[in-house]
Amino acid sequence: MQTRPMRLGPLEDGQRVIIIGGGPAGSSCAIALKNLGRKLGRDIDVVLYEGTQYGPDSIKRVGVLAPPLVQTLENTLGVNFPCQLVARKIVGYYLHSGRYSIRLYMGGNLSYVAHNVALDAYLLGMASRMGVRVLSGRVKDIKINHHEVSVEGESGGTRGDVLVGAFGLDSFTAGLLEKVTPYRRPRALYSIMAKIPAPVEYLLGCEDYIHVFLPSMGEVEFGVVTPKLTHFIVNIAGRRVSHEALRRFLALPEVARLIPTDALAAWSTSGGLVSPPIPFPLEPARNSYGDRYVTVGDAAGLVRAYKGNGINAACVTGAKAAEVMLTAGISHEAFLYHYFHAFSDIIKDLPYGRAVRRLVLFGEGYGLLPLVLYAAGKDRTLVNVLIDFLSGHKTYHRILKDWGGVELIYRFLKGLLPWMPPARVEATKPAAEATMGRLAPR
Ligand SMILES: Cc1cc2nc3c(=O)[nH]c(=O)nc-3n(C[C@H](O)[C@H](O)[C@H](O)COP(=O)(O)OP(=O)(O)OC[C@H]3O[C@@H](n4cnc5c(N)ncnc54)[C@H](O)[C@@H]3O)c2cc1C
């Protein structure tokens, strides 16, 4: 058998990339390989394996397309943002804890709500039109040696020059890569989602806000209620979330008041749609790259700890890996210096992310978070800090540097004096903006 020469430099005309996974990370990598390759005068052969057939009833994620996804698609990937998929726009968040809520208007940084897998289909279709060979069926085996990589899938085997692991947190596939490389999957939290149909008129009457809850519930670190056009998506996250925890979350008065009682009852009695626990990464994978392999998206875990825009991170890491393969190479060194180091802001922010998570868990455990919301309701600076925390634009380190830790503690304590809590606190928006929508009527 003729072996390939060992070339770990930038990909050359005709070399082959094998991508496992056709989620946003895999498709973005494929699109960027084709786009940038053409600009550099090289035709890269891209083979992408996708093992799941998603349909209208698929429930994989919420489907919020958060900033800066529009810029990522249009500027980094060179594809149009699919406005036709947008069902609703989101202008901000409500943060709830116990009796207190605060409204955080994102100042024109809109998010969009779409069917949860619509963007995957759009990007995969785009990749296919650009000449990527999309093979249906799951990959069952991976081999990587000095000279080539090969995979065996339900739709046949392929040999290539480099492997891109874009398989999300698929346990089986992570196991395959762990067997043949030092790759170790990221630690994860789990989320359960419920799709609760509600009358369209009711949903249209709800504000264009996502509701984030930080309840004192032990197993639930946070919960989110997202209004779509025909239903609510409710998801809870934690280390060990269960359907029972979801039911208890839905019964919390502050959650129950958002969803019509009839809709909740109908969903409950019909044994409504609930996902199994779905993992999402808490921190980066170990050895997420090496000679002839690189992981992207959730498989790499290069996401801002505790922040929500995983689709954007998947697209950014997929596109960056493609650029590195075409310009720096497919060796361990190329991926270390040009791919992994490109995300050093995320890596350096990990200790801060962990500290924030511990603080939130501590606050939930001791019922302190309502006080934070109460104090923030009286201080515009604290509101801005919360907006920064939720938006994902800045690292935690940057937020603390910009606002000053001691200053924040001072403002928080000042906000608590005098401690005369009203039943509900709303802040952040001038009166004119506050009339844009109304909270679910109940
Ligand atoms: C409950 C929940 C809700 C979320 N909601 C949002 C949201 O609203 N907005 C947002 O930005 N992010 C959200 N996220 C995060 C987001 O879903 C992920 O960050 C994003 O999907 C990562 O993309 P990916 O391409 O890396 O992986 P994935 O989207 O998981 O794609 C991996 C693909 O690989 C395929 N695959 C795996 N193994 C194999 C194999 N052996 N052979 C062939 N194919 C294989 C899978 O079928 C899958 O299609 C949510 C996460 C969770 C858990």
Q: 297 and 275, same structural domain?
A: no
| Contact 377 CB / ligand 1 (< 6 Å) | no
Q: 342 and 303, same structural domain?
A: yes
Domain boundary among the residues 325, 348, 371 is at 348
Q: 183 and 197, same structural domain?
A: no
- Give me the pLDDT at residue 366, please: 87
Asked whether residue 36 is assigned to any structural domain, the reply reads yes
Contact 30, 59 (CB under 8 A): no
Q: What is the DSSP letter of 337?
A: I
Domain boundary among the residues 225, 253, 279 is at 279
Q: Which structural domain, as residue segments, surrounds residue 165?
A: 16-63+115-187+282-348
Candidates 119, 298, 302, 307: which one to mutate for ligand 1, based on the most atoms within 8 Å of Cβ? 298
Q: 311 and 263, same structural domain?
A: no
- Give me the pLDDT at residue 434, please: 29
Contact 4, 147 (CB under 8 A): yes
Asked whether residue 109 is assigned to any structural domain, the reply reads no
- Give me the pLDDT at residue 357, please: 87
- Give me the pLDDT at residue 442, please: 30
Ligand 1 centre to CA of 298 (Å) is 7
Q: 261 and 220, same structural domain?
A: yes
Q: 356 and 340, same structural domain?
A: no
Quick one: tokens of 12?
């050359």
Longest dimension (CA), the chain: 81
Total count of domains within the chain = 3
| Contact 186 CB / ligand 1 (< 6 Å) | no
Q: 274 and 156, same structural domain?
A: no
Q: Is 131 left (phi over 0), alpha (psi -120 to 50) or beta?
A: left
What CATH number does the domain containing 162 carry?
Answer: 3.50.50.60
Asked whether residue 256 is assigned to any structural domain, the reply reads yes
The low-confidence residues of the chain, meaning pLDDT below 50, are: 1, 3, 423, 425-442
- Give me the pLDDT at residue 294, please: 98
Tell me the C-alpha distance between 369 and 359, whole Å: 10
Q: 336 and 258, same structural domain?
A: no
Asked whether residue 77 is assigned to any structural domain, the reply reads no
Q: 271 and 261, same structural domain?
A: yes
Q: 290 and 254, same structural domain?
A: no
Ligand 1 centre to CA of 166 (Å) is 9
Asked whether residue 105 is assigned to any structural domain, the reply reads no
| Contact 207 CB / ligand 1 (< 6 Å) | no
Tell me the C-alpha distance between 283 and 297, whole Å: 12
- Give me the pLDDT at residue 249, please: 96
Asked whether residue 262 is assigned to any structural domain, the reply reads yes
Q: 139 and 149, same structural domain?
A: yes
Asked whether residue 102 is assigned to any structural domain, the reply reads no
Contact 239, 277 (CB under 8 A): no
Give the 3-state secondary structure percentages of the chain, helix then strand then coil, rounded to 5. Answer: 40, 20, 40
Q: 183 and 312, same structural domain?
A: yes
Asked whether residue 147 is assigned to any structural domain, the reply reads yes
Domain boundary among the residues 348, 375, 404 is at 348
Ligand 1 atom closest to the CA of 191, numbered from 1: 1
Q: What angle do CA 388, 280, 302 make, to 5 degrees?
A: 65
Candidates 70, 167, 246, 296: which one to mutate for ligand 1, based on the most atoms within 8 Å of Cβ? 167
